[in-house]
Amino acid sequence: MLVAGSANLDFITRVSHLPRPGETVLGPGFSTAPGGKGANQAVACARAGFPTQFFGALGDDPYAGVLRDSLRSSGVQDLCLTLPLPTGAAFITVAESGENVIAVASGANAGLTSTQLPPLQGTDVLVLQLEIPLETVQAYARAAQAQGVRVILNAAPAASLPVGLLADVDVLVVNEGELETLSGPGDLEEQLRRVQAQGPRTVLVTLGGEGSAALSSDLDGAALIRVPAPAVKVVDSTGAGDTYVGVLAGALGGGEPLEGAMRRATVAASLACTREGAQPSMPSREEIERGLQGGAA
């Protein structure tokens, strides 16, 4: 399993409620934690027990060392480049409800170019997101398809995609807002079918507390699959989406059927919601197995 994408140091502030435009909300302080969608998904995959590599770009600064240490301590093989740019940073505000807003300074992530291809030899699955340049994402997906590597794209954050990118994607994972960006308005199944017609064999949407749903042409009848989420007390949802993608990718790469992979990812994401932080919240394989056995999803 190879994850290619962004790595950031997260700066996290906790407040009573998310500020409205023009409003200042005071919090008691801030903390830092390793993050970035790519690195988060790699850590989630590795902690869930799947062999994982991560390819991205870091700066030549102290923040890079924090991110490398987190990858390695989580069991991820670090394949990151060092560029003469600042390491990426994310500024996260978390409300007491668990909701969050995030602003990202891309730094070295923006310096990852389409000519700096990840090492695909020996890789079965490549996981991508949209926190590195779109042309780089497209080049990576095309290179992976040319080598017979399965491509999983988490189209986040929401963006209009280059023509042809989805034709090189096997599994697309989005949330509701990202789905509407790609499909336009409509009922859920209609939206999924519109996006599926652009190329991906499987299109999966996460639905927050409602769980997730998917359409896949790999399944007989191509019926809509729905997997509910267990009820949990949400402490911080920052890492939930990336946990879902990382665990889903690992399970699919390990040969688990789509619905089983969705259930595993749902349990993992639900556990992540009960803890603070992105990478610090991601559960171990043992915790996920206990959740599955306990009927958490």
Residues recognised as catalytic: 242
Q: Give the Cα separation of 40 and 17 in Å (integer).
A: 25
CB neighbours (10 Å) of residue 236?
A: 24
Report the run of H or E that residue 189 belongs to, with start and end: helix 188-196
| Closest C-alpha among 129, 137, 211 to residue 172 | 129
- For residue 122, count other CB atoms closer than 10 A to its CB: 8
Phi/psi for 100 (5° steps) reads -145, 160
Q: Answer for the pair 127, 249: CB distance below 8 angstroms, yes or no.
A: yes
Task: Count Cβ atoms below 10 Å from residue 120 Cβ, excluding itself.
Answer: 18
Cα dihedral angle (287, 234, 260, 175), rounded to 10 degrees?
-140
Nearby residues of 280 by Cβ (< 8 Å), 6 or more positions away: 33, 239
Q: Whole-angstrom Cα distance, residue 99 to residue 97?
A: 6
| Dihedral angle sign, alpha carbons of residues 165, 253, 77, 174 | positive
